[in-house]
Chains A and B, each alone.
Chain A
Amino acid sequence: MTQLALVIDLNVCVGCHACVTSCKEWNTSGWAGTMVDQNPYDGSPTGTFFNRVQTFEVGVFPNTETVHFPKSCLHCEEPPCVPVCPTGASHKRADNGIVLVDYDKCIGCKYCAWACPYGARELDEQQKVMKKCTLCIDRITDATLSERDRQPACVLACPTSARLYGDVHDPDSEVSVAIRERGGYQLMPEWGTKPANHYLPRQKNRMYISPDELTRVDNPLRKEDLTTYTGEETLDDVAW
Chain B
Amino acid sequence: MHPAFSVIFLTTLLGAGQGLFLAMFTGQLYAIARFLPVQEDQFYAIGSLVALWLLVVGLGASFFHLGRPERAWRSAAMWRTSWLSREVIILPILMALVFAYSVAHLMHWTQPWFRIGEVLGVDATLLLGLLGTIASFALFVSTAMIYASVKFLQEWHSTFTVANFTLLGLASGFMLAAAYSAYLGNPLVSFFGTWAVVLTLGALVSRVAHLRRNARLKHKSTVQTAIGVRHTAVVQKAQGAMGGSFNTREFFHGRSPETVRLVRNLFLILVFPMPILLISGAYLIESTTLPILAFVIQYIGLLAERWYFFAEAKHPQNLYYQSIS
Seen from chain A, the residues whose Cβ lies within 8 Å of a Cβ on chain B are: 17, 20, 39, 43-49, 52-60, 66-67, 69, 71, 80, 82-89, 105-111, 113-119, 121-123, 125, 127-129, 185-191, 199, 201-202
Contact = CB atoms under 8 A, between A and B. Distances in A.
Interface centre among A44, A56, A127, A188 (most CB of B within 10 A): A56
Interface in B35-86: 65-69, 71-72, 74-78, 81-85
B263 to A, nearest CB: 21
A110 B64 CA distance: 12
19 contacts: A44-B244, A45-B241, A46-B244, A49-B241, A55-B238, A57-B236, A66-B237, A83-B82, A88-B74, A106-B67, A109-B67, A109-B84, A114-B153, A115-B152, A117-B221, A119-B321, A122-B245, A127-B67, A199-B228
Contact of B229 (A60, A67, A86, A125): A67
A52 B146 CA distance: 29
Nearest to B247: A119
Given A57-B234, A67-B229, A107-B66, A113 B246 contact: yes
Contacts of B220: 190-191
B111 to A, nearest CB: 41
Interface in B219-261: 220-221, 223, 225-229, 231, 233-247, 250-251
Given A58-B234, A119-B317, A123-B250, A187 B82 contact: no
Given A86-B85, A115-B150, A117-B152, A71 B320 contact: yes
Contacts of A55: 236-238
B210 interface: no
A12 B236 CA distance: 19
B234 A87 contact: no
Interface residues of B, number: 57
Contacts of A122: 245-247
B151 interface: yes
Contacts of B121: none
Given A55-B236, A69-B227, A188 B75 contact: no
A224 B24 CA distance: 113
A49 B69 contact: no
Contacts of A67: 227, 229
Contacts of B318: 119
Given A58-B233, A86-B82, A87-B77, A128 B68 contact: yes
Contacts of B273: none
B316 interface: yes
Contacts of B221: 117, 188, 190-191
Contacts of B237: 55-57, 66
B78 A88 contact: yes
CB-CB nearest 8 A-B residue pairs: A108-B67, A128-B67, A119-B317, A52-B240, A44-B243, A83-B81, A86-B75, A86-B85
